Structure 1
Amino acid sequence: MITLHGIWTDGPAATFRIWGEDAALPRSGPKRRGRRPKKPPVLPHPFAAGHDTLAVALDGPAAGEPGSATILLPAAGQDPFPSPECEPGSVVPEQAGCAPYLVPTVSLHGSAAIAFLAGLPTGAGHGATLRFWAEAARFALGLVARQSFVPGARGWEALLRGEEHDHAARLAASLPPACRFWAAGEEAALPDPEKLVTAFLNHAIHTIVTGALAEQPLLPKPRGRPRKTVPPAEQWVEMLSGRRKELTGTEEVLTRFSRELEDWLSPAAAPLRACFRLDEPEGNGKRWRLSFHLQAVDDPGIVIPAADVWNRRGEACTSLAQRFEDPQDRLLIDLGRASRIYPALQASLASRRPAAVSLSTGEAHAFLSEWAPLLIENGFGVILPTWWKETASRPALRLKVKPAREGGQLGLDALVSFDWTVALGDRVLSSEEFEDLANLKVPLVRMHSRWMSVDGGGIERALTAFRKKFASGTMTAADLLGIAAGADPDMPAVSEVAAEGWLRGFLDGVTIEPVPQPAAFAGTLRPYQQRGLAWLSFLTQNECGACLADDMGLGKTVQVIAYLLAERERGCPAAPTLLVCPMSIVGNWRREFARFAPDLAVAVHHGSGRAAGDAFAGEAAAADVVITTYPLAVRDEESLASVAWGCIVLDEAQNIKNPATKQARAVRAIGAPRRIALTGTPVENRLTELWSIMEFLNPGYLGPFASFQSGFAVPVERYRDPARTARLRELIRPFVLRRMKTDRSIISDLPEKMEMKVICSLSAEQATLYEAVVQEMLERAESAEGIQRRGIVLGGLTRLKQICDHPALFLHDRSAFGERSGKIARLEEMLEEVLDAGERALIFTQFAELGTLLEGYLRERFGTAVLYLHGKTAQKERDAMVQRFQQPGGPHIFILSLKAGGTGLNLTAANHVFHLDRWWNPAVENQATDRAFRIGQTRDVQVRLMIAAGTLEERIDTLIEEKKALADQVIGTGEDWVSSLSTDQLRDLLTLRRDAVED
């Protein structure tokens, strides 16, 4: 196998050379004996590919110009170390020296080199240097496409601002060391990475731009006899068009031109700059005046009119002339530069003393909206009318809405009648006034002695679409919410909605009438729980689905029980309620009903002896509430669908987050006029999960799945589009109630939660196993594709996480458990402190086998009772464990598998929580933590997230923080995203940092 490497050299003769390692050539391996000579001779590289082999690898003998190069490479004695791409598993010692080697190369010049790099396919056969320069070339292409380049002293250069500057800095930080070694002898300094990358970007951009200008000369063809000397300015323009490599002339001429060019190219360094001020027409005039001024860069308050500059009048002008350059020269130079950006200035330059230019209203609007930002971006001063920013808001609709028929249909399909007016700034126009305004077809209008910007054409098109869609004068409540949220791009923006009747509750939650605590409720609701009860009642009474998304531990169960009692006291039809939940919390629901609503008849539909057909229908009819599980929603779909349910409640509603599963489809198919979803994590990984829950609650409200994916999921998740995020938040706001435990206005008597990250070193055994698994996984992933590659990566990740926990978990051996894992050793130290303080701890792991090993080890290590709850724990035994742990004097250590014990349990006896391994989903981890951090907890809860240093766990931890932002913006991914990374990205993610291993 041939591994190709890239060498790029800066300078006037910049070129890109490629050399390669041939894995098939014999090698002796690095020699570690003997001393290297002080000045080693330049030897041929022992396993460098020859020219013929390179030509084949580069697809033909015409791929480039053969040659050779001397490079520095890590070596032991006279033998170079092979690159990791050529010989997987090879390691270069930290103390290794370098030696010069002669390698055959193929040189690519100009556009051929950039085209080769930009089109370099991903995959095997490319070394780190070649991959790096390929990424840099693609970045340069992007800069050209975005017109992020400017003329420079040596040609076209990159214009790096904002994200592009950050991208270039990241490139420089990731520069492989071998990219620098070609340039230095044994005693020469290596080139600076940032300067090297910047030079390459400038070279690539100059090559691309001059290639595009090959048929478009920047200067007219000279007439008459050929000139003996070409002025430096024309030579420079020829360089920009690609027809000249460098400037020629006497040293004096070139020095003076270089100084003038630098001054022209770097206006930010000059003390003065041109400034443009736009003045409104006087009286009834129609012409605007763009006047020229000179402004002090360090004191923008000093602004001198052009007339004073030409006449050298005024104290400020005299002072500036004494302190700095000639103000007249500066104004002329800057006006010349500005005219190339804003062509309307060119006519004024015909005057010997240009002072202003006259503009029409349309031209003035173009200056305000298009040219002024460009001039500011290029370092010029611009003074705009104060009203421009104040009237940046465009005309918007104001709607007055009310139910079309009192006492008629409720819900999102209910008809709404409306009236509309147009708001222009703070002035409300009638439809007739606005028609007249739109017919003017001008972007700037004067109204009541004040100029305003009006997008008349845009709002007219929007109003046309509005009238066409709602020609009947009515719309549905769903349409109203969508328009108010700005979700439909064809509809005009709405600045205000004044609603009457039950519609006010959707648009303004404070209008929801409170609901008294039911008399049959055996407890006391907190104030925020009473508000939750009123909110549930309001939505369901108006036949809309509700998602109660309170934090775990705020009492969603209690609020639903109070709601069901309130509905019964209100005299609702006595149809039963179906409650669907995970099997692990069926017992918890049954106990909570018995505690807070003992009068309700509760039936559990589960187990091998459960009723079916008519027997089930009779059982449901005799109950107030029927509790079943998500798997049975699929298996017993016919039986469940045969009952006329009054309400269906989904607990842990994220179980239907995948809308295409049989489970989600079966739940959506169950009929009920009132629908409630309970979840502490309305968005776990992707926004499609939110769509699935909303499709259950209010079918069709967020549109078809495909349009939601393209209209919201991709813009918000991938591009963090703030406008789409705001629209989605407004769309779901009426139907999602989210309160946080950390909000003191919600609950003030809950103690603090202190989250700490515990970084643990790997043992030597763990490090050896880790590196072996990484290497094996990368080799297998390199040669696999599709679902097979995905399986290899995900399986490898699981093994790596097992190794980070404990070698025995990976090896499945039963040898000594202690002193083999850095995590377990650190866990022991912290548990010892917990036990000494007489406190209790929860330990979560996603690996059931580790829980089994840990239970026996900790029991023997500390001589105390240790509980272990996992997926195979029977319900009766599970309940007994919880009760035993919660009792005074109960066990101090409770190990739980994350899936079995992460939801539905009240374990407030513990005030320490340990997450042994990361689930890579903050929502799931928070759910588990909330077994202890919930109502009833009286002590501060200490949460420790255990992370293996130098491994994928440490790198992934930073990404977890980014996942939290998605849920926060709209109201985290699992491991699947890792399987889509390239092999090189996987290597960067997984490679072990050796300094994190225990000695």
Structure 2
Amino acid sequence: MLKDEMAAIFGMKTPGVKTIICSLPSTKKGPLPSPWLIKEDSADEVLSGLSPWQIDALAFDPRAAFVMLLDLPVHPPPGIVFASSLRFWIAAARFSLELIAREQFAPAIRDGAARWTPIIDEDDQTRVKSLAKALPPSCLALEEEGPSRKRSKEKGGPSPLQLVESFIDLTTDAFVRWSLITEKTKLEPDLGGRPPKVKPLPRQFLRALAGEDPALKAPLKEVTAFSEKIQRWLSQLKPPSPRAPFRTCFRLDAPTGPAEASDGIWQVRIFLQSKDDKSLLVPAEEVWKARSNTAIFLKRKINNPQEHLLAELGAASRISPEIERCLQDACPAALELQTHEAYRFLRESAPLLEQNGFGVLLPSWWEKRGSRLGLKLKLIDPEDETETDPQISRGLFGLKSIVKFDWELALGDSTLTEVELRDLIHLKVPLIQVRGEWVELPPEEIETAIGFFEKKRREGTDAICLEEAIRLGLGAEMAIENDLPVLKVEAEGRIREMLSRLSGKGEIEAVDVPASFMGTLRPYQMKGLSWLSYLHRLRFGACLADDMGLGKTVELIAFLLHQRAIEDLRRPSLLICPMSVVGNWQRELDRFAPSLHVMIHHGADRLSDSEFGQEAERNDLVITTYATAQRDEESLSMIRWQNVVLDEAQNIKNPAAKQTKTVKRIKADQRVALTGTPVENRLSELWSIMDFLNPGYLGPAKRFHETFALPIERYRDQQRAERLRRMTQPFILRRLKTDPSIIRDLPDKVETKVYYHLTSEQATLYGAVVEDMLEKIESSAGIERRGLILAALTKLKQICNHPALFLQDGSPLDGRSGKLTRLEEMLEEVLASEDKALIFTQFAGMGAMLKHHLQEKLGCEALFLHGKTPKKQRDAMVQRFQSGQDGPPFFILSLKAGGFGLNLTAASRVFHFDRWWNPAVENQATDRAFRIGQHKNVFVNKFVCMGTLEDRIDRMIEDKKELAEAVIGTGEGWLTELSTEDLRNVLTLRCDAVED
């Protein structure tokens, strides 16, 4: 059954089953489970040491194992756990593949058979040793069978280094051999005539290297002699001794002075280079003299540097035919090369010498990126067209506007004409000198460039859309019509000014705060207003991603008023937001922009069709919810909106959701997104928001995933992350309240974890729920399994809060919950310091219990806000809490109802009574207190029960924060995809979970 499951999961051929013997940590009852599968009931058992056990295992030949390890996904599929040993061999397999890809292998004879063996240089040997040090103990558990088992026991078995080297040897041989067999490669030469009955050993060797049978059929003495010859040949490929303090180094110097493109004498100078100080180079001339530098060699314990240099030159000569020539000199110190020989040295010899441990110093221009042949573009300011296009005269370009450009062919810092190119193509060597600089220019690139000249001469007009021009100007790697890469972009006039401002190098012109704005904007908020206004003039979508509490709402309101003051044509704007913040928007608009006419489109009595359109046209702003927008798409699409604004824009983070597609279809002159978390868990969320703002700017979703999401999320590619940041930065304005340059009077936020224990009653209920769930999910699958897990998780979180929440029996609360007891203690400190506190819970029932219990226990009023709280009551509660020291000291909030859209700066203490397991959601809740207007330090306390799911998941959620911080961190659904064993590991109580 196991092999069938492996075949189904990984799509491999059914492997064989074999009984093996493993030495495992054991007790008197039997072997302990694997560390990642340990059950709590085995923790107290007495370890009796390592004992041999017979185990049924899947057996793979080396090639099948290698292919399987390379094909395994980075993250295992749902229900599967990768053991530490499997993860280790995956890493080892990738190292083997890297050696093969670099062609670091050679034929050899081992144990009387023809084998492909890896060639491991000094740097790779360091990596092999690192792998050996990281080898998990479970990889050493396998014991040999038969007579060799006793010998293995006596010797202690293979060392980790031997195991790793053996794995690399076997996988390299298996893969190279299999490749030759599948390609039907014939290494043995066809000499014609009738084949002899007994093939000569060299011909057997070649045939065995490309066949399934590696055995050599010849007398042992003959095989040994032939093997020695092979070993002598292989010794040429091995790097110099890593213990030697010096190594031979070769430096290539280009001809000096003016020269024709294909003329000039190059020099390869020879040095001894110190391994511990690469800047210490002793010229070969001094080595042969052995006078002035004798002290240097003695200090590094090299008594005969001449012999050392000569030996290494001999080894290098077998790698590079150019160096072989210099050995004709009794005291070789340098080698002269023609240009074509220098190019061969650069392309062929230098990499081989470096791979084999020799020092190689090449001219800096050899790896210089700017030496590629490509285009230098100059974007032309469309000033001449302003009379015919009134939008351009007002600065409204738009991403699809056409921008003309001039172009030049560039090679490094030089420009080339078509005549110069045609002269260069006659040269036979790709290494040429252009205006005093040596560059590599392959003939095929010259032909491509000449073809580009001819095509452009036929077409005449050169133009691209502004979207492509911006991408090029911001550093995106692109090519014009897939012909030549764009190496440099210049611009003139307003386009140059625009690119400078978008890239953050130029200052955006400040706009005045509208006279109708009833409030004061801070300096950074005025910059946000100017930024929104500038992007609007360019017809670009904008994402205002300021940290929670910095005032995105007032910046947007000021922007709407600014538009009303400068625009001749007035059309309504549409604001889409979650239902819970509709009231907040109403209050803020009434406060800061009473001159704006606002319409709320929500509820059963909302207008539709023509009535909606007529009423909307009479207003400046229409506010609706995401759910209503999806239902009323037809009515909303009747109007061409001046702006479509998304508040809490993370609501469209799923590109495939109907809600997201609906919102993106609504037409508007400009689109604005407001969000404190442009990226929560995946970069696809950033793509979805950017696709709403500026459709097509980041390309199709599939290409974005391949170009950015996969390299950044999976491989932490910093260069791709930087490219994405440069491309998105102009359209995403993100300021953090922790930045002193943004807001200097906002105090620090101090986050701490509050650890506590379960009571015995809680532990009993917790254990029963876990066991019941694990038993049920063993026989379930799909939706049923996920439902069972989610239901159990909810129960466990309820138990961690309080048994009465789980039992729903109305029983008393006092003394039955470790979490509640700790909360009471901390709230007493809050009262003593005359502070106020917010208490967040995701369970409305828990909130109600806390309200009554805390009021009775601590003798003070506690407010409770939940999803069913009427709007008037909600507003009154907020006002009471904010009303100085006279208001209630505690505000209990349901996380969904109070997690955003509220200003509760009267509180300086925040308690997350139970965890939502999403850093972004928790931070949004915390920001009800940690925002503008707060003049105290804010202390945030997150409850974590040691030894429970809270403890384990608290560690897991830290990973979710990393992604959001790299480029600009949904609930517990992901837990349903864990295997039963992983769930047991996450959920099972540890002994330290229960109080004494």
How does the TM-score come out when normalised to structure 1? 0.79
CA drift at 1:783: 5.8
Instruction: Check conservation: 2:248, 2:359, Cα contact below 8 A.
Output: yes
CA RMSD of aligned residues (A): 4.9
Aligned pair 1:207/2:170, yes or no? Answer: yes
- Secondary structure of the residue that 2:668 maps to in structure 1? coil
Q: In the alignment, which of 243, 267, 282 is matched to residue 241 of structure 2?
A: 267
Query: Which whole-Å deviations, capped at 9, do the CAs of 1:170-203 have from their partners, x for residues lacking one?
Result: 9535748966999999xx99979xx854432222
For 1:698, which of 694, 699, 704 is the aligned residue?
Answer: 694
- 1:909 aligned onto 2:906: yes
Does residue 1:521 correspond to 2:523, yes or no? Answer: no
In the TM superposition, what whole-angstrom CA distance separates every residue of 1:488-547 from its partner, at most 9, and x where no partner exists?
Answer: 543423434324226733542435322111111111111222122122222223322221
Separation (CA, whole Å) in 2 of partners of 1:898 and 1:339: 73
**What's the CA shift string for 1:850-885, capped at 9, x where partnerless?**
323332332222121112212222222211111111
Q: Quick check: 1:966 aligned with 2:955?
A: no
Which residue among 386, 390, 394 is the counterpart of 1:406?
Answer: 386
CA 1:865/1:474 → structure 2, altered by over 3 Å: closer, same or farther? same
Contact 2:786 2:976 in 1 (8 A): yes
SS at match of 1:418: strand
Structure 1 Cα separation of the partners of residues 810 and 52 of structure 2? 51
How far 1:832 sits from its partner (Å)?
2.0
2:524 is paired with a residue whose SS is helix
Q: In the alignment, residue 461 of structure 2 is paired with which amino acid?
A: S
Give SS of 1:80's match.
Answer: coil
Match of 1:533 in 2: 529
Code of the aligned partner of 2:466:
A
Residue 838 of structure 1: CA displacement? Answer: 0.6
Separation in 2, partners of 1:814, 1:462: 82
CA 1:466 to 1:98, structure 2 compared with 1: closer, same or farther past 3 Å? Answer: farther
Give the equivalent residue in structure 2 for 1:75: 27
Q: 1:320 aligns with which of 288, 291, 297?
A: 297
**Pairing of 1:88-167 with structure 2 (within 5 A):** 91-98=42-49, 100=51, 103=54, 111=62, 133-147=85-99
Matches of 1:903 and 1:164, distance apart in 2? 50
Paired letter, 1:326 = N
Quickly say closer, same or farther: Cα 1:665–1:465, change in 2 above 3 A.
farther
CA pair 520-94 structure 1, distance change in 2 beyond 3 A: same
- Partner residue in 1 for 2:744: 748
Distance in 2, Cα, partners of 1:950 & 1:82: 20
1:939-963 Cα shifts (integer Å, max 9, x gaps): 1111223333344444444444443
Structure 1 residue 500 and structure 2 residue 487: aligned?
no
Q: CA deviation at 1:886?
A: 0.6
2:823 corresponds to 1:827: yes
**437, 441, 462: which one pairs with 1:473?**
462
- 1:501 is paired with a residue of what secondary structure? helix
Whichever residue aligns with residue 915 of structure 1, its letter is H
Higher relative contact order (CA 8 A, sep 6+): 2
**Residues 678 and 379 of structure 1: CA distance in aligned 2, closer, same or farther (over 3 Å):** same
Going from structure 1 to structure 2, the CA distance change for 1:397 and 1:948 (only over 3 Å counts) comes to farther
Structure 2 SS opposite 1:315: coil
- Following superposition, the deviation at residue 793 of structure 1 comes to 4.8
Residue type at the aligned position of 1:93: D
User: Are 2:910 and 2:926, in contact at CA under 8 Å, matched by a contact in 1?
Assistant: yes
Match of 1:737 in 2: 733
1:641 aligns with 2:637: yes
Is 1:617 paired with 2:613? yes
Q: CA, structure 1 residues 288+635, in 2 after alignment: closer, same or farther (shift >3 Å)? A: same
- The 1:141/1:597 distance shift into structure 2, 3 A limit, reads closer
CA contact (8 A) 1:869 1:901 kept: yes
Q: Secondary structure at the match of 2:935?
A: coil
Equivalent position SS for 2:376? strand
Question: Could you tell me how far apart the structure 2 residues matched to 1:444 and 1:262 are?
Answer: 29
AA in 2 matched with 1:839? D
Structure 2 match to 1:381: 359
Report what 2:604 is aligned to.
Answer: 608
When residues 868 and 132 of structure 1 are mapped into structure 2, their CA distance, relative to the original with a 3 A threshold, is same
How far the C-alpha of 1:558 sits from its partner, in A, is 0.9
Number of residue pairs matched by the alignment: 911
Is the Cα–Cα contact under 8 Å of residues 291 and 357 in structure 1 kept in the other structure? yes
* CA drift at 1:282: 4.8
Shift of 1:584: 0.9
SS in structure 2 of the partner of residue 646 of structure 1: strand
Distance 1:131 1:247 in 2: 46
Identity, % of aligned positions = 45
Q: Secondary structure at the match of 2:535?
A: helix
2:920 corresponds to which letter in structure 1?
A
> CA offset at residue 158 of structure 1?
7.7
Q: How does 1:791-830 map to 2 (within 5 A)?
A: 791-830=787-826
* Counterpart for residue 17 of structure 1: none
- Give deviations 1:398-417, integer Å, cap 9, x for gaps: 42332372252431122212
Instruction: Give how far 1:991 is off.
Output: 5.5
8 Å CA contact 1:422, 1:434 repeated in 2: no
Look up the match of 1:43: none
For residues 417-462 of structure 1, give each alpha carbon's deviation from its aligned partner in whole angstroms, at most 9, with x where no partner exists.
2223455555566777677668868654434544455678659858
Q: Distance in 2 between matches of 1:633 and 1:376?
A: 63
Asked whether the equivalents of residues 73 and 101 of structure 1 are also in contact (C-alpha less than 8 Å), the reply is no
Say which is worse superposed, 929-938 or 341-350, in terms of deviation. 341-350
Match of 2:897 in 1: 900
Q: 5+ unaligned residues in a row in structure 1: which ranges?
A: 5-57, 227-240, 249-253
Distance 2:126 2:654 in 1: 34
Contact 2:616 2:622 in 1 (8 A): yes
State the Cα deviation string for residues 906-937 of structure 1 (Å, max 9, x = none).
00001111223333332222221111111111
Could you tell me which runs of 5 or more consecutive residues in structure 2 were left unpaired when the two chains were aligned: 5-12, 112-116, 190-197, 200-213, 223-227, 392-396
Deviation at 1:267, TM superposition (A): 2.7
Distance 1:460 1:614 in 2: 63
* C-alpha distance in structure 1 between counterparts of 2:949 and 2:119, whole Å: 38
> Measured at CA, do residues 432 and 825 of structure 1 come closer, stay the same or move farther in structure 2, by a change above 3 Å?
farther
- Alpha-carbon distance in structure 2 between the residues aligned to 1:281 and 1:895: 79
2:511 alignment partner, SS class: coil
Write out aligned runs for 1:245-394 (5 A).
267-282=241-256, 284=259, 285-309=263-287, 311-317=288-294, 320=297, 323-338=301-316, 345=323, 355-361=333-339, 364-365=342-343, 367-368=345-346, 372=350, 375-376=353-354, 378-386=356-364, 388=366, 394=372
CA distance in 1: counterparts of 2:934 and 2:545, whole angstroms: 21
The amino acid of 1:501's aligned partner reads R
- Counterpart-to-counterpart distance in 1, 2:629 and 2:638: 12
Superposed displacement of residue 650, structure 1: 1.6
Cα pair distance change 1:766/1:341, threshold 3 Å: farther
Deviation at 1:205, TM superposition (A): 1.7
Q: Provide the residue aligned with 1:945 in structure 2.
A: 942
TM-score (norm 2): 0.79
Please tell me whether the aligned partners of residues 392 and 453 of structure 1 are also in contact (alpha carbons under 8 angstroms): no
Is the Cα–Cα contact under 8 Å of residues 99 and 118 in structure 2 kept in the other structure?
no
